[in-house]
Amino acid sequence: MSDKLSIMSKTWGYKYFRPGQEDIIDAVLAGKDVLALLPTGGGKSLCFQLPALLLDGVCIVITPLISLMQDQVERLKSRGVVAEYINSSMGKREIDNRLDNCVYGKVKFLYVSPERLKTDLFLERVRKMVVNLIAVDEAHCISQWGYDFRRAYLDIADLRPIIPKASVIALTATATKQVQIDICEKLGFGRYETFQQSYASPNLSYSVRMVDD
């Protein structure tokens, strides 16, 4: 507990966990696969970022949008955490250097798209990395996009035999029961736990007003 709270306080300035966060973090630290269903603003990122800081090696974060990658990496860097991202706008040399930093440097988080996992350069380097965790952010995209225009989402589990010691955490703010099952199957979950917090947002209200036009 003291290590978790100490790093959380030092890095993010938080003194307490939000509902569900500590149970998720403990399951990840125990080496289990995890499906975490938390509402928007429920602190999903901390659920993989904190355990990754407590473990040796790099956390590979799979996320669908370049803007999400850049935003999270900049936030981590502003807190003194070494993080990198790779996207399609970068040249081969820059990608090569960032992957080298993950193998030989002090990088703790590498943000990539699911399509990146299938490239020869990435697969060559990831075999040399010490990977402590695979985090799949916005995991509902596996069902929402995987069967349509981003089929790489269905192949994320192909990474697991290459880094068999790394567990997987899938995070989303929205997933029906069927989508939850699909996420766990497509990610090749073995010994896993599911954690779910209410999606209800008591700070939101809806009003209907009758108007002339």
Residue type, 7: I
> What is the reported pLDDT for 1?
47
Residue given tokens 């966990």 in the structure block: 17
pLDDT in tens, 26-46: 999 999 999 999 988 778 999
Residue given tokens 């930093």 in the structure block: 101
% of the chain exceeding 70 in pLDDT: 95
Q: Is the dihedral of CA 190, 199, 172, 75 positive or negative?
A: negative
Provide the 3-class DSSP secondary structure of residue 58: strand
Residue type, 186: K
Element (H, E) at 71: helix 66-78
Whole-Å CA distances, 182 to 35, 79, 179: 11, 35, 5
pLDDT in tens, 125-182: 999 999 999 999 999 988 866 566 688 889 999 999 999 999 999 999 888 899 999 9
- Can you read off the two tokens belonging to residue 48? 């993989």
State pTM to two decimals: 0.89
